[in-house]
Amino acid sequence: MATPTRKAAIVGGNRIPFARSNTAYAQASNQDMLTATLDGLVARFGLQGESVGEVVAGAVLKHARDFNLTRESVLGSQLSPTTPAYDIQQACGTGLEAAILVANKIALGQIEAGIAGGVDTTSDAPLAVGDDLRRTLISLNNAKTVADRLKALARIRPGQLVPEIPRNAEPRTGLAMGDHAAITAKEWQIGREEQDELAVLSHQNMAAAYDRGFFDDLVTPYLGLTRDNNLRPDSSVEKLATLKPVFGTGDPDATMTAANSTPLTDGASAVLLASDEWAEAKGLPVLAHLVDAQTAAVDYVHGGEGLLMAPVYAVPVMLARNGLTLQDFDFYEIHEAFASTVLATMKAWEDPAYCKGKLGLDAPLGSIDRSKLNVNGSSLAAGHPFAATGGRIVAQLAKQLHEAGPGKRGLISICAAGGQGVVAILES
């Protein structure tokens, strides 16, 4: 047994409203958004000119020039320039993984406080020159003589001048993430209607949370936006039923539409974590503690497992380590990459054969009370700026647990590209 450590406290969070791609934040860079988000957090918790132990954040779609994105954002923020920072990237798990890393350093006593965050833009996305052109330009740069330069230039073909636009596709399978999710949806027989219902509920829950002021101290307006502009409070199953499927369309019974899948989104989030002592000394609240976390990965290429099923594997490992069952939670935050992903995840935990065969469990984890799921809305409503989703969920769940009173427990489950999953337990 490892030496017992202290649990990191979640003090609070801040994010900018999320914006659908090429809308309100079309002109903003990752650094602009992350800096604004850090400054909002600094303002909320009175950290102007102060240093914290570490700022950890990342972006999934990142320009080469942004190699030190988080540190550069810190240097442009109201935090002290003596605040260390580093970048991480674990696809859609980036934000939660950042929070886990900060929490672990706090737990080990290596730092007293830290900020975890994430940002993504699909509007100001990096373009790459094709590999052939890139090699030609490198040899052009290395050429010593005019003749060598001309030789290098002569290798350029018009077709090479078309830039490579980043696609939301798996490099090893060539399939879009949505097409992967469609395979899983079919395998688990996830129906169109239940997906649309989950999407509508997400919009309704988030709209209600905004209306009751829940997000007042979690969101700071940015570039004229005060709420996520993907949010459709008047969304209905009837309206959603009229949409055509966009993923897995080779199948006549395709179920996944633009409404029950997350749109490309721009945004940023940040969470302030600390030791209890640090928070108390500053007179800051402790909303919840990060109790434990787990990652898992699946062989979605050759192993026959679904791309987004890794959290299904991560959760039982974490539950066993903490002596908990799936039903021992007051709230569940299952990231809505796609409505079908959430539904397949829950169905897998209910399936005895799958739990025994794939997860090695004697009994299935069982079902969860749907009234405790994504109670303030999730990614289908807010949108999903990849690396920013984790921070949104951690801050949102911590606040929900705090409101519910002491001793409440919440589960976070986030699926990520590359067949990975990041999960965590928070407790108020």
Partner 1 sequence: MATTTLDAAPNLGALYAKATVTAWGRGGALPDDRVARTGVEVDRAHLAEYARVCRLPFGDVLPATYPHMLAFPLQMVLMSDRAFPLALPGLVHVRNRIEQLAPVPVAARLDLEVWAERFATHRSGATVDLCASVSTGGAEVWRSRSTYLARGASAPAGAEAADVDVHVGALDRAVATWRVPDDAGRRYAKVSGDVNPIHLSGLTAKAFGFKRAIAHGMWVKARALGAVANRLPEAFAYDVQFKKPLFLPSTVTLSTAQVDGGWDLAVRNAKSGSDHLLGTIRPQ
Which of the following is catalytic: 92, 180, 203, 355? 92
Helices (H), 127-249: 131-142, 146-154, 177-187, 192-211, 237-240
Does 30 bind partner 1 (CB under 8 A)? Our answer is no
Figure out which of the listed residues 129, 169, 183, 223 binds partner 1, where binding follows CB under 8 A: 223
Does 221 bind partner 1 (CB under 8 A)? Our answer is yes
Pairing, β 331-334 against β 54-57 = unpaired
Given the complex with partner 1, which of 123 and 202 has the nearer CB atom?
A: 123
- The secondary structure of 278-314 as a DSSP string is HHHHHT----EEEEEEEEEE--TTTS---TT-HHHHH
Asked if 188 and 353 touch (Cβ cutoff 8 Å), the reply is: no
What distance in Å separates the CA atoms of residue 119 and residue 139, rounded to the nearest whole number? 34
Given the complex with partner 1, which of 66 and 427 has the nearer CB atom?
A: 66
Least Å from the CB of residue 27 to partner 1: 3
Figure out which of the listed residues 29, 122, 230, 379 binds partner 1, where binding follows CB under 8 A: 29
Least Å from the CB of residue 72 to partner 1: 11
Figure out which of the listed residues 8, 9, 36, 201 binds partner 1, where binding follows CB under 8 A: 36
Least Å from the CB of residue 228 to partner 1: 17
Binding-residue total with partner 1 (CB under 8 A) = 15
Of 263, 249, 262, 261, the closest CA to residue 186 belongs to 249
Of 275, 259, 238, 352, the closest CA to residue 103 belongs to 275
Active-site residue flag, 415: yes
Given the complex with partner 1, which of 26 and 156 has the nearer CB atom?
A: 26
What distance in Å separates the CA atoms of residue 295 and residue 356, rounded to the nearest whole number? 20
Given the complex with partner 1, which of 75 and 140 has the nearer CB atom?
A: 75
Which of the following is catalytic: 203, 289, 384, 402? 384
Which span sits near partner 1 by CB under 8 A: 32-40, 51-59, 380-388, 396-404?
32-40
Does 261 bind partner 1 (CB under 8 A)? Our answer is no
Given the complex with partner 1, which of 44 and 105 has the nearer CB atom?
A: 44
Pairing, β 54-57 against β 288-297 = unpaired
In the DSSP assignment, the letter for residue 68 is T
Active-site residue flag, 63: no
Least Å from the CB of residue 143 to partner 1: 22
Residues 6+ apart with CB under 8 A from 45: 11, 12, 272, 282, 284
Query: Given phi > 0 = left and psi -120 to 50 = alpha, else beta, which region is 56?
Result: beta
Which span sits near partner 1 by CB under 8 A: 29-37, 96-104, 333-341, 363-371?
29-37
60 to 119, contacts with partner 1 by CB under 8 A? 75-78
Least Å from the CB of residue 118 to partner 1: 18
What distance in Å separates the CA atoms of residue 372 and residue 420, rounded to the nearest whole number? 24
Which span sits near partner 1 by CB under 8 A: 158-166, 218-226, 337-345, 349-357?
218-226
Least Å from the CB of residue 51 to partner 1: 14
What distance in Å separates the CA atoms of residue 115 and residue 53, rounded to the nearest whole number? 8
Active-site residue flag, 384: yes
248, β-bridge pairs: none
Burial tier of 102 (Cβ tally within 10 Å: 0-12, 13-18, 19+)? buried
Which span sits near partner 1 by CB under 8 A: 35-43, 86-94, 183-191, 296-304?
35-43
323 to 382, contacts with partner 1 by CB under 8 A? none
Give the residue numbers marked as catalytic.
92, 384, 415
Binding residues vs partner 1 (CB under 8 A): 27-29, 32, 35-36, 39, 75-78, 221-224
